[in-house]
Structure 1
Amino acid sequence: MKLQSAFLLALLSFSLLACSGNEDEIDTQLPVIDMDFAEAFPKQCDVLERGETYEFAARFIDNFELGSYSLDIHHNFDHHTHSTEVNDCEMDPVKTPVNPWLVIEGFPIPSGQKEYQVTQTLEVPEDIDPGDYHFMVKLTDKEGWQTIRGISIKVN
């Protein structure tokens, strides 16, 4: 009986030791889109000119590892909202789009990055409708957590 009890105690101790050192951290935090530094672009209510080139700039941060980001630029001629910014911009009257600007693109972030600063050239087409637009930045980390930043811009 003592041998059986000793064996069970040893087995239980081994099981506890094997389990306790093998816990992986679980990522439960959303990644961060930082656009609050001087070179960040665009900012809420920025005005872009048709036919001009701009540099999108943002800093992405995650506690474990970043995954990818995407840009979504679309018209806001009907005054819908997904802005994540505190202040509102002056809006043009509601109108029907004829040739609106539309960008929907995704981009990978190099593996192993916890912080990544992106600068990307954006060309505003000359022949698009001027007016109110949304500039959406979506950031996803390796675990699939996503953060969205919705910025209102105007195109002249």
Structure 2
Amino acid sequence: MKTIKKYTIITVIFAMTVACRKNKENIDTEKPTIAIDTENAFPKQCSTIKRGTSFTFSSTLSDNVALGSYSINIHHNFDHHSHSTEIGECIIEAIKKPVKPFVLVKTVNIPAQPQRYNAELQIDVPADIDPGNYHFMIQVTDLTGWSSQKGISIRILE
């Protein structure tokens, strides 16, 4: 009887050790990525967009396990603030006070949770918004909650 208890305890401890190791191996620890340097990605750093027109946001998003959603945030940069993800300098207009700035915040769920997704979203720029410097922020989140951001400086022209 003591031998059976002994082997039962050893078997349970062994099973728990193997199960814990397997769970640790399956934990997602990688952030998703945003490709804005591909040929058909848009906008790119320093892109210009005419107000009163539409354009298509395009980027390749990827993750090692599964993507969940992405979001777009467009806001003015009339005060010359910066985001740590921006790359390179663009033409900067003088600091000005916003009257009717363009603001867009949009979240899109990615269907079927793929590892790679070609995001495309048509964006209409109203004709009556303030032209000038803007930030185009992209955030992608995977199914486990990891997220990455990219900030792009753009200009909206008259």
TM-score by length of 1: 0.92
Matches within 5 A, 1:1-156: 3-17=1-15, 19-21=17-19, 23-24=22-23, 25-82=26-83, 84-156=85-157
Percent identity of paired positions between Structure 1 and Structure 2: 40
Mapped partners of 2:84, 2:155: distance in 1: 13
* CA distance, structure 1, for counterparts of residue 97 and residue 38 of structure 2: 35
* Contact 2:87–2:152 (CA under 8 A) maintained in structure 1: no
Return 5+ residue gaps in structure 2 as ranges. Answer: none
Looking at structure 2, the residues matched to 75 and 108 of structure 1 have their Cα atoms a distance apart, in angstroms, of: 25
For residue 97 of structure 1, report the CA deviation from its aligned partner: 0.2
Alignment partner of 2:81: what SS? coil
Return the TM-score normalized by structure 2: 0.91
1:64-121: CA deviation from partner (whole Å, max 9, x where unpaired): 1111111100000000011523311120000000000000111100133111101111
138 and 38 in structure 1: CA distance in 2 versus 1, 3 angstrom threshold: same
* CA distance 1:58–1:37, change in 2 (3 Å): same
Deviation at 1:14, TM superposition (A): 4.2
Shift of 1:130: 0.4
The separation in 1 between residues aligned to 2:79 and 2:18, in whole angstroms, is: 56
Deviation at 1:60? 0.7
Letter in 2 for 1:67: G
Output the aligned Cα RMSD: 1.5
Matched letter for residue 111 of structure 2: P
Shift of 1:154: 0.3
Equivalent-residue separation in structure 1 for 2:99 and 2:88 (angstroms):
28
Runs of at least 5 residues in structure 1 that lack an aligned partner in the other structure: none
Secondary structure (helix, strand or coil) at the match of 2:100 reads coil
AA of the residue aligned to 2:110: I
